[in-house]
Amino acid sequence: MNFCSHCGSSHLAFSIPQGDTNPRFWCQDCNTIHYQNPRNVVGTIPTWEGKILLCRRAIAPRYGTWTLPAGYLENGESLQEGAMRETWEEACATVALSDLYTVFNVAHIYQVHVFFLAEMVDGNFAAGEESLEVELFMPKDIPWDEISFPTVKRTLEFFIKDRQRGYFPTRVRDIGPMKRIP
């Protein structure tokens, strides 16, 4: 951060402001504290006739890999509204949401990922602007080696096991950094 968004000053410090417990950017001229909080990623597990809808990413990071439709929650949206919007934007699919399914704390990158169970309303879908292609997969045909993010992979693994049992508990988990392959 180079300038205060409140007064425009370049006199910023990164330290623990008086009365706080965490280091933060704060303006030494107007004393405005610039809070930086985790971003929420919201998405769905859209299904249709036993298949799961996945999108091949047309954007970084992880360009060309497969993911569930998801993205950043916008200001003024509920988690549910954001999840449905992201599904429409990435897969041009309308869904009926069901229960909250997975919540992943991805603290090392300041994010929380939330996925909802969802049924496609009419089976229609197409690649949105952020997708190269969109496809319905039977669980046995999911391209596991090409899944974009650990949160997506874990959600899909949970979903497939839970669907076999007919029981979909909400799960809250922590996800650490991805291991780099040399």
For 1-36, give the CATH class: mainly beta
Q: Are strands 66-67 and 51-57 parallel, antiparallel or unpaired?
A: antiparallel
pLDDT at 133: 98
The pLDDT value recorded for residue 36 is 83
pLDDT score at 181: 55
Which of 48, 51, 131, 29 has its CA nearest to residue 88?
131
| Element containing residue 112 per DSSP (H, E) | strand 111-120
The model's confidence at residue 166, banded by pLDDT at 50, 70 and 90, is very high
In one-letter notation, the amino acid at residue 181 is I
Q: Which whole-number Å values give the CA distances from 173 to 7, 39, 70, 176, 182, in the listed order?
A: 40, 16, 18, 10, 27
Domain boundaries, the chain: 1-36, 39-174
179 pLDDT higher than 70: no
Q: How does residue 180 score in pLDDT terms, banded at 50, 70 and 90?
A: low
Please state which of the four CATH numbers 3.90.79.10, 3.40.50.10320, 3.40.50.300, 3.30.450.20 is assigned to the domain occupying 39-174. 3.90.79.10
Model confidence pLDDT, tens digit, residues 89-129: 999 999 999 999 999 999 999 999 999 999 999 999 999 99
**pLDDT of 182 strictly over 60:** no
| DSSP 8-state secondary structure symbol assigned to residue 173 | E
User: What string of DSSP letters covers 49-85?
Assistant: TTEEEEEEE-SSSSTT-EE-SEEEPPTT--HHHHHHH
pTM of the shown model: 0.87
pLDDT tens track for 30-67:
999 998 888 999 999 999 999 999 999 999 999 999 99
User: What's the helix, strand, coil split of the chain in %, to 5?
Assistant: 20, 35, 45
Of 175, 180, 128, whose CA–CA distance to 154 is shortest? 175
